[in-house]
């Protein structure tokens, strides 16, 4: 189990709460601003009410929403015993309750975590991920997702995706129905600018938080698994494959792209400037630097015998 008295870890957690508050405040203010352009003071008040309602709904349904968007199916210890044992052991190392596990039928190798709290955590992996990675690399990816659950990033970014999508819809509504027309030319121009710029602004706000949280999750995940270089190897494989294999559910739901360990969107849909993920090269470099200063740990096979980490043997197809 990881040391819970780490002052650096506590400081990172406090910064996480600050980023959460800052991001949600910015998104809510943006939502209200578009509402004002659409309907003046009344429109702003309505937008605020909708934002509060959406936050409440997203809080209680964050896991279900994320899983349903990607057709993830819950699995059990009986259907996937090796995967289940691996996730359970890593959760124990992290001091977390074992999360539920879901599998997405997609050839694109990827994974994400969701849930409004550690007690409600869910780790979802694609069949492509299970096919591509070896057992140690899979453990590194799972540990990364558990780090997101530990830091409560899953709730933060699920709420952000919900409000971000609502801003885009509200902006389009403003464009087509032109709520600012009764305020003259300037009001109409403001509506057009809001419709064009508000979705981009929402995306940029999500990007700023998402990029920083990936670095923290990489570091914490490497501490959980004890193998920064293994996670670096997994990221190298995933980044090389992710851009070439389309993930249909992610293309239909681009606002949820930030949930995944690597960007699931093809280059045609998401330019690097607006990516919610840091570049794989920078993440790999950070993990390699971490490995140089991290105390050596036993090889994973030895750790399995000493600490009851299950040996997950390589096989093709979904792990069973």
Band (268; pLDDT cuts 50, 70, 90): very low
Whether residue 69 has pLDDT greater than 70: yes
Residue 132's pLDDT is 96
What is the DSSP pairing of strand 122-126 with strand 100-104? parallel
Q: What is the per-residue pLDDT for 61?
A: 81
Tens digits of residue pLDDT in 84-109 = 999 999 999 999 999 999 999 999 99
What tokens were used for 200? 């981009």
313 domain residue, yes or no = no
The tokens of 235 are what? 């990221």
Q: What is the pLDDT of residue 142?
A: 97
Which domain covers residue 236, as residue numbers? 7-307
| Percentage of residues in the chain having pLDDT higher than 90 | 37
- How many structural domains does the chain have? 1
Residue 92, pLDDT score: 96
Residue 148 is assigned to a structural domain of this protein: yes
- For the cut 90, the answer to whether the pLDDT of residue 296 exceeds it is no
Residue 188 lies in a domain: yes
- Max mean pLDDT among 51-65, 206-220, 229-243 falls in 229-243
Specify the pLDDT at position 162.
Answer: 64
Give a three-class secondary structure readout of the chain: CCCCCCHHHHHHHHHHHHHHHHHHHHHHHHHHHHHHHHHHHHHHHHHHHHHHHHHHHHHHHHHHHHHHHCCCEEECCCCCHHHHHHHHHHHHHHCCCCCEEEEECCCCCCEEEECCCHHHCEEEEEHHHHHHCCHHHHHHHHHHHHHHHHCCHHHHHHHHHHHHHHHHHHHHHHHHHCCCHHHHHHHHHHHHHHHHHHHHHHHHHHHHHHHHHHHHHHHHHHHHHCCHHHHHHHHHHHHHHHCCCCCHHHHHCHHHHHHECCCCCCCCCCCHHHCCCCCHHHHHHHHHHHHHHCCCCCCHHHHHHHHCCCCCCCCCCCCC
Q: Match 């293994």 to its residue by tokens.
A: 230
Asked whether residue 13 is domain-assigned, the answer is: yes
Residue 320, domain member (yes or no): no
Residue 199 has pLDDT above 90, yes or no: no
pTM over 0.85: no
Minimum mean pLDDT among 112-116, 185-189, 205-209: which range?
185-189
Residues with a known catalytic role? 145
Q: What is the pLDDT of residue 169?
A: 64
Structure confidence at residue 284 (pLDDT): 96
Distance CA 125, CA 318 (A): 10
Q: Is residue 315 part of a domain?
A: no
Q: What is the pLDDT of residues 23-59, one digit of tens each?
A: 677 777 777 777 676 666 776 677 667 767 776 787 7
pLDDT, tens digit, for every residue of 146-177? 999 998 886 676 666 666 666 766 666 666 66
Task: For residue 319, tell me if it sits in a domain.
Answer: no
Q: Looking at residue 176, what is its pLDDT?
A: 65
Write down the pLDDT at residue 70.
94
Band (80; pLDDT cuts 50, 70, 90): very high
Residue 34 included in any domain: yes
pLDDT of residue 269: 47
Per-residue pLDDT at 8 exceeds 90 = no
């Amino acid at each position: 189990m990881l040391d819970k008295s780490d002052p650096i870890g506590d400081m990172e957690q406090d910064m996480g709460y600050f980023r959460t508050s800052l991001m949600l405040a910015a998104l809510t203010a943006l939502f209200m601003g578009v509402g004002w352009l659409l309907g003046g003071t009344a429109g702003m008040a309505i937008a605020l009410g909708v934002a509060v309602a959406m936050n409440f709904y997203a809080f209680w349904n964050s896991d279900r929403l994320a899983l349903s968007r990607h057709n993830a199916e819950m699995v059990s210890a009986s259907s996937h015993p090796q995967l289940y044992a691996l996730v359970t052991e890593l959760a124990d190392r992290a001091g977390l309750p074992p999360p539920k596990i879901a599998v997405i039928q997609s050839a694109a190798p990827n994974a994400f975590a969701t849930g409004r709290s550690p007690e409600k955590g869910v780790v979802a992996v694609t069949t492509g991920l299970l096919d591509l990675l070896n057992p140690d690399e899979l453990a590194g990816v799972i540990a990364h997702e558990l780090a997101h659950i530990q830091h409560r990033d899953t709730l933060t970014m699920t709420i952000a995706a919900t409000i971000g999508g609502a801003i885009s819809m509200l902006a389009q509504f403003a464009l087509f129905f032109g709520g600012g027309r009764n305020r003259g030319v300037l009001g109409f121009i403001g509506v057009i600018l809001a419709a064009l710029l508000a979705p981009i602004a929402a995306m940029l706000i999500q990007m700023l938080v998402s990029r920083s949280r990936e670095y923290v999750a990489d570091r914490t995940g490497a501490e959980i698994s004890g193998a920064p270089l293994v996670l670096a190897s997994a990221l190298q494989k995933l980044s090389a494959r992710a851009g070439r294999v389309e993930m249909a559910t992610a293309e239909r739901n681009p606002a949820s792209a930030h949930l995944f360990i690597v960007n699931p969107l093809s280059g045609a849909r998401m330019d690097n400037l607006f990516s919610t993920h840091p570049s794989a090269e920078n993440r790999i470099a950070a993990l390699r630097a971490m490995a140089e200063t991290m105390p050596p740990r036993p090889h994973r096979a030895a750790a399995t015998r000493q600490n009851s980490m299950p040996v997950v043997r390589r096989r093709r197809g979904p792990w069973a």
